[in-house]
Amino acid sequence: MIKPEKWAALRQEMEDLGIYEDDLVEKFIIGSGRGGQKLHKTASCVYLQHLPSGIEVKCQQERSRELNRYYARQRLCEKFTEIVLQEQSKRQREIEKIRQQKRRRSRRTKEKILQEKKQRAELKKTRSKPGDNE
């Protein structure tokens, strides 16, 4: 359950961004994915659309409809700042960081890394005791 203070803070953030409850279309959808029979019976997935900007958000993070309503509004605020104010959100930065980590290295970079490893190996060989180099 979300505390009233958190709801108030979220509503204040929405108001600061210019997002008003009257501008939102909220629908409850039957969820999909893992979760079994209970998930397919209840409409706990929340769909939000901000009419003036056309931004749409769907949230099925929790089993509770009330929690999903909160998280959907939070995600809408993030998207709004991202798109309208051209700022990168924390989530977007994390995604970009992971994407960069998974990106393949260029041939030049690979060769450079291998060259450095070879130099390091040569340096280590010079440190060994006499008679060990056989």
CA atoms of 43 and 52, how far apart (whole Å): 26
The mean pLDDT of 121-129, rounded to a whole number, is 88
* DSSP codes of every residue in 52-110: TTTEEEEE-SSS-HHHHHHHHHHHHHHHHHHHTS----HHHHHHHHHHHHHSPPPHHHH
pLDDT at position 133:
59
pLDDT digits (tens, 9 = 90+) for 27-79: 998 877 777 777 777 888 999 999 998 899 999 888 888 999 999 999 999 88
pLDDT at position 41:
79
pLDDT digits (tens, 9 = 90+) for 83-107: 776 666 677 788 889 998 888 888 9
Percent of the chain with pLDDT strictly greater than 90:
44
Q: Which residue's entry shows tokens 């990168």?
A: 88
Q: What's this model's pTM, rounded to 2 decimal places?
A: 0.63
Beta bridge partners of 49: 25, 56
